[in-house]
Every structure is written in C-alpha cells, then in structure tokens.
Amino acid sequence: MTDHVRPEEHADPVAAVLAARRSGAGLALRTSGTAGPTVRRVLRTTESWWGSFPAYSQLTGVESGARVWVPGPLTSTMNLFAAVHAAWAGAELVADAVAATHACLTPAQLDRRGAGLPAGARVVLAGSGVPEPVAAAARQRGLRLDHYYGAAELSFVAASSGDLVLRPFTGVEVAIRDVPVPGTIWVRSPWLCDGYDGPPGPLRRTADDWATVGDLGRLDDGVLTVLGRPEAVVTAGATVLVAEVEAVLAEFARGSVVVHAVAHPTFGQVVGATLTRAADRELLERAARAELPASHRPRVWRVVEQLPLTEAGKVDRRALAE
C-alpha cells in the first residue's frame, strides 16, 4: 500500500507535498469541517494534482514570475493546491494583497478582503457560484475574475474564464442524474481521489468511474449551474431544499443571501434567510411570495454586515443556523 503524507502535520505543507511527489508517496488531505480523532482525509495520488496543473495554469495565468496571494490556511485543499501549483510554475507566494499579480480566493474572501488587490490583478475564485454584486464590485476595481467549481474528492469539475460561466473542466465529463436525488451532479475525470482515510464521506462512485459528492445542479447546452449540497429544512412536515430557495432569491438580491434552517419551538425548523444588504429584504420577500410555495418562503429574515466564514473562507452555514 502506498504511504500517504499528511501535509498539515508538517511545518511547510507545500514542501511536504513536493517531497511526496519525488518519493512516490500519496497525499492524505484533511477535509474541511473535520478535526480531532474523527478527522476525515481524502486520499489521492500526486499525479491527480500534477496532471491538472497545465490546465490550471491556462485558467489562472499563473506562470513563472507571478506573485500569488493565497490568504487562506494551507489546511484547506484549494489553498494548498494553489500554493503547490505556484511552486511548480515557478511563481512566488506573497503575504500581502497589494504585492500580488494573482490571487486564489473564495467569493466571500473576495468580498471581504479583495479591496487590497491592485488593479489588473487576476483572481481565481473557488466555489459553486459568484454573487453578481461581488463580481461587479471587483471588476469596477479593475480585477480580472476566473472561476472554478470542484470538491476535495473530485478536484476540478467545471471552470470559467472571464465570463464566470461554468463549463466542464479540461478532461472532465459532467452529467446530471436522478440518483441519489434528482439533479445530482456526476463527473468522470482523471483527477478523482482514491477514497477516504477515516469516517466515510459523501463520495459515491460507480463501476464505470463516475463519481459524485451529492451537489445539485443543472447542465444546459454545456453550461453548468451549481445549486449546492441538498441540505434540507424540515418544517411542519415539508422538506425544503435550501439550494432551491437560495437559487430563486439570489436572482433578485443585490447583496449576498444565504438560506439556512432556524430552530422553531413548534415546527422544529423554519426556513431562514440572512442578507448583507438591508434594502434587499423587501424585494426578496416579494420575490418569495411570487416565486415560492408557502412552505419554502423564509420565515426569519436577518441582516448582517458580514457573513460568518469558516477557516477555509466559505460561508459558515452552521453558525447562521445556530
């Protein structure tokens, strides 16, 4: 069995991955949201990263001489990948946004910390989608935006260049299937992981090498729209998929909107929506009444200056629910 390196256990995680490549060891990468004795790690070969480096270079423009800002922790797979790729490409990692020619961020990080990037910097955004207000503000500051969607288990699934329209990533096939639930995104790719070390996770694979982590989406004429994980709010006997409600409201919001469960003493849970722009509330309440059945309409509305983020820079839905 191949030895696996755990990069986060080393003082220099990037050097640990480069050493694994030279020695032929595999990688055991901690997944976000797990820690302690129950930590789950994704097992993969270094080739499943190295093989995608040329396509990632083409997407991001990161090459020798680039100065790359990766502000998130290297325990996050997306950040570690970007840092290792920079080393492979001969680029330099920089600690400050103002010195960067390129950056790797989540949309939430771009919204919160991207103002420090100089005009002309090129930003690759990792996530299921980029809110249009965030993208518009970044473009007004002269930033070039690229975007990809993937998962620790799947690596890259789809990417866009400049237009933020997701299409299957180089070498990846994408399909929408009705299992385990209708609208599930499945992929067949040379960049898939080998499985888990630790508790089982959301990855499912078929005998013909198709895989999914359960995200929902639509595929129309080669364009992928990602709706997210099929998290549900069970309220008064109705099961409401968070992704469906959020997709409807996001079309009308001018700021960020996140849909989540809120505990309720009678119904167990109700649908909640947290906004970053107070002026959106009236507009979204009208949209909910017009576009959503009664069971799917948010019953609790909150406005916050900033959305809580996880260590990896993603929106912390658990914190919002609590």
DSSP string, 12-45: SHHHHHHHHHHHT-EEEEEPTT--GGG--EEEE-
The reply to whether the predicted model has a pTM over 0.75 is: yes
Cβ burial, residue 10 (10 Å; 0-12/13-18/19+): middle
Check residue 134 and give its pLDDT: 87
Check residue 38 and give its pLDDT: 64
Q: CATH topology for 4-167+192-202?
A: Rossmann fold (3.40.50)
Check residue 247 and give its pLDDT: 85
Distance CA 170, CA 135 (A): 24
Helix axes 280-291, 242-250, angle to 10 degrees: 120
Structural tokens at position 95: 């600690």
Check residue 35 and give its pLDDT: 46
Check residue 32 and give its pLDDT: 64
Q: Count other C-beta atoms under 10 Å from residue 42's C-beta.
A: 23
Contact in structure between 76 and 32 (CB atoms under 8 Å): yes
Segments of the chain scoring below 70 in pLDDT: 1-2, 32-38, 236-237
Distance CA 257, CA 254 (A): 9
Q: CATH topology for 232-321?
A: GMP Synthetase; Chain A, domain 3 (3.30.300)
Tokens 């997709």 label which residue?
Answer: 247
Start-to-end CA span in the chain (Å): 42
Where along the chain do its domains lie? 4-167+192-202, 232-321
Instruction: Give per-residue pLDDT as tens, 156-214.
Output: 999 998 888 999 999 999 999 999 988 999 999 999 999 999 888 899 999 999 999 99
Structural tokens at position 43: 């097992």
Check residue 34 and give its pLDDT: 47
Check residue 314 and give its pLDDT: 82
Percentages of the chain per state (helix, strand, coil), in multiples of 5: 30, 30, 40
